[in-house]
């Protein structure tokens, strides 16, 4: 089973942060994938990813429109070519394509 982790964060920290999280969770559920999405929004950091969760993940998505806290946590996955970075609105609009891309990392 594929394991995906991600962080969502938009410039205002409200709508797109949580819409992107929900879109990704729904699409992964359809495919039977394990998914955990950390949100960095207006309410601060929710559902924070652990080092272990990041290490165990097959792919990472950073759906971020702003700099995020703790981005260095993903350096090892980036070195492995396992990180996809995009704007949260792109994830919301194209979630099926995005998850397909994550499968192919």
Instruction: Tell me if residue 28 is catalytic.
Output: no
pLDDT of residue 13: 76
- DSSP symbol at 2: -
pLDDT of residue 12: 84
% of the chain with per-residue pLDDT over 90: 93
* pLDDT < 70 positions in the chain: none
Read off the pTM: 0.96
- Closest C-alpha among 29, 2, 15, 1 to residue 63: 15
Set 5, 10, 49, 91: catalytic member: 10
Question: 36 near 49, Cβ under 8 Å?
Answer: yes
């Amino acid at each position: 089973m594929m394991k995906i982790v991600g962080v969502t964060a938009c410039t205002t920290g409200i709508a797109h942060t949580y819409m992107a999280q929900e879109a990704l969770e729904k699409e992964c559920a359809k495919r039977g994938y394990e998914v955990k999405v950390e949100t960095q929004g207006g309410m601060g950091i929710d559902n924070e990813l652990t080092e272990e969760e990041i290490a165990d993940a097959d792919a990472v998505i950073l759906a971020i429109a702003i700099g995020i806290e703790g981005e260095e946590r993903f350096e090892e996955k980036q070195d492995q070519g396992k990180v996809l970075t995009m704007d949260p609105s792109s994830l919301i609009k194209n979630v099926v394509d995005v998850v397909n891309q994550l499968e192919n990392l």
